[in-house]
Amino acid sequence: MKEVVLDTETTGISVKEGHRIVEIGCIELDNLIPTKNRFHCYLNPERKVSEKALEVHGYTDEFLSQQKKFSEVGEQFLAFIKDKRLIIHNAEFDLGHLNNELSIFGKNKINNEIVDTLILARDKFPGSPVSLDALCKRYRIDNSVRTQHTALIDCDLLAKVYINLIDQKEPTLNFQNLDMETDNQNSSKVAYFKKVIKPSEDEILKHKEYLKNHLKKNYF
- Distance in angstroms (rounded) separating the CA atoms of residues 71 and 106: 9
Cβ atoms of 81 and 111 closer than 8 Å: no
Residue 135's H or E segment, with its range, is: helix 132-138
Q: Supply the pLDDT for residue 208.
A: 66
For domain 2-171, the CATH superfamily is Ribonuclease H-like superfamily/Ribonuclease H (3.30.420.10)
| Angstrom distance (rounded) from CA 108 to CA 177 | 58
- Laid out side by side, the sheet with 21-30 consists of 33-42, 21-30, 2-10, 85-88, 114-116
Say what the pTM is.
Answer: 0.74
Residue 100's φ and ψ, nearest 5 degrees, are -65, -45
Cβ-contact 158, 132 below 8 angstroms = yes
| Region of poorest pLDDT, from 69-83, 173-187, 205-219 | 173-187
| Angle, vertex CA 198, rays to CA 195 and CA 203, nearest 5 | 150
Note the pLDDT tens digit of each residue in 15-25.
Answer: 999 999 999 99
> Model confidence over 24-77: pLDDT tens digits?
999 999 999 999 999 999 999 999 999 999 988 989 999 999 999 999 999 999
Amino acid at 192: Y
Residue 133, H or E segment: helix 132-138
* Positions marked catalytic: 149
